[in-house]
């Protein structure tokens, strides 16, 4: 086995391992996002089923107990919503990784990689943060910059180039879950409005 063949085999093994890991990560992020939806449903169900609002145990410090309850419930819902969006963003990152890995491995299945494609990526592109990157923490924004928490240095150049061009349809499934959560938030606001 030549040095090129050995390097090629190690890189393909690495990309296959990475794809397996990203599949598991994708599934975990999806499960955690759905768990957050269940918690939000429980919160809304509990608030809607209470006979008198606000509950008698809510204190009235500087503001009325109704205002305190409103602030508290909206804050809890917002934390759940942002957590859910964070999980869905990470799920989208995993989907993009899997798509890029699959395209590279599929190309290498029919023709061996070149030395240039196997070369380790040297620089990490600095993403430009835009306003829609922040909006994406509340609602899905297809053009937002979603990236993994890792550097790309050391990955094969072919993968990094493919990753930079890859996209996924995973953002469309985020719309249903996110807007459902926003609707739950609207129910909370209407029920608890001071």
Tens of pLDDT, residue by residue over 93-112, are 999 999 999 999 999 999 99
Residue-wise DSSP of 92-150: HHHHHHHHHHHHHHHHHHHSPPPHHHHSBP-----PPP-HHHHHTTTS--TTS----SS
* pTM for the full predicted model: 0.86
Cα distance between residue 33 and residue 84, in whole Å: 5
**Least trusted range by pLDDT, from 2-6, 56-60, 75-79, 177-181:** 2-6
- 32: Cα separation from own chain's centroid: 10
Across 47-52, average pLDDT: 91
Identify the residue whose tokens are 């089923």: 49
Instruction: Name the domain count of the chain.
Output: 1
Q: Which domain holds residue 155?
A: 3-192
Structure tokens at 189: 């606001």
Give tens-digit pLDDT for 14-48.
Answer: 999 999 999 999 999 999 999 999 999 999 999 99
């Amino acid at each position: 086995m030549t040095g090129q063949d050995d390097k090629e085999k190690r890189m393909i093994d690495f990309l296959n391992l990475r794809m397996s890991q990203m599949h598991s990560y994708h599934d975990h992020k999806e499960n955690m996002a759905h768990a957050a939806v269940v918690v939000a449903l429980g919160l809304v169900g509990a608030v809607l089923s209470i006979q008198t609002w606000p509950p008698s145990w809510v204190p009235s410090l500087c503001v009325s107990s109704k205002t305190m309850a409103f602030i508290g419930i909206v804050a809890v819902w917002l934390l759940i919503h942002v957590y859910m969006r964070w999980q869905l963003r990470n799920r989208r990152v995993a989907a993009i990784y899997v798509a890029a890995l699959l395209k590279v491995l599929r190309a290498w299945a029919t023709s061996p990689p070149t030395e240039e494609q196997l070369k380790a990526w040297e620089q990490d592109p600095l993403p430009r943060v835009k306003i829609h990157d922040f909006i994406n923490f509340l609602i899905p924004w297809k053009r937002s910059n979603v990236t993994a928490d890792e550097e790309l240095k050391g990955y094969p150049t072919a993968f990094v180039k493919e990753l930079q061009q890859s996209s996924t349809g995973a953002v469309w499934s985020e719309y249903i879950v996110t807007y459902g959560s926003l609707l739950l938030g609207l129910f909370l606001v209407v029920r608890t409005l001071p």
